[in-house]
Amino acid sequence: MNDLFDRPRHPYTAGLLGSVPRVDRSGAPRTGRLAEIEGMVPRLDRAIVGCRFAPRCAFATDLCWAKDPPLEPKTLGHLAACWHSEKAAEIAGE
């Protein structure tokens, strides 16, 4: 389960985790802006081709725009639907 927080395998998960207010070990709130997920949520009344997160994803490639990624196991108990899950985990783990 910690892998989800330490190395999220989907850019949306990383974005959500980055938007959570946190406190440091002393209990004081951290300063600075929270992470923001750019863009707009897709409209539900239109068909979506490809990954639903592609319009808001920094890793999006032509594959993401063309084909919906399958939900696959990435680590024990950790599933993700992302063509670039390893890249997302590497960036989050830095």
pLDDT in tens, 18-74: 777 777 666 666 677 777 778 888 888 988 899 999 988 888 999 999 999 999 998
Share of the chain above pLDDT 90, in %: 22
Q: 18 φ, ψ to 5°?
A: -70, -15
Radius of gyration of the chain (CA): 15
pLDDT above 60: residue 1: no
How many helices (H) and strands (E) are present in the chain, helices listed first?
A: 4, 2
- Mean pLDDT (the chain) is 82
Q: Which two tokens stand for residue 4?
A: 């989800």
Please tell me the predicted confidence (pLDDT) of residue 41. Answer: 81
The predicted structure's pLDDT at residue 45: 92
Residue spans of the domains in the chain: they are: 1-12+42-94
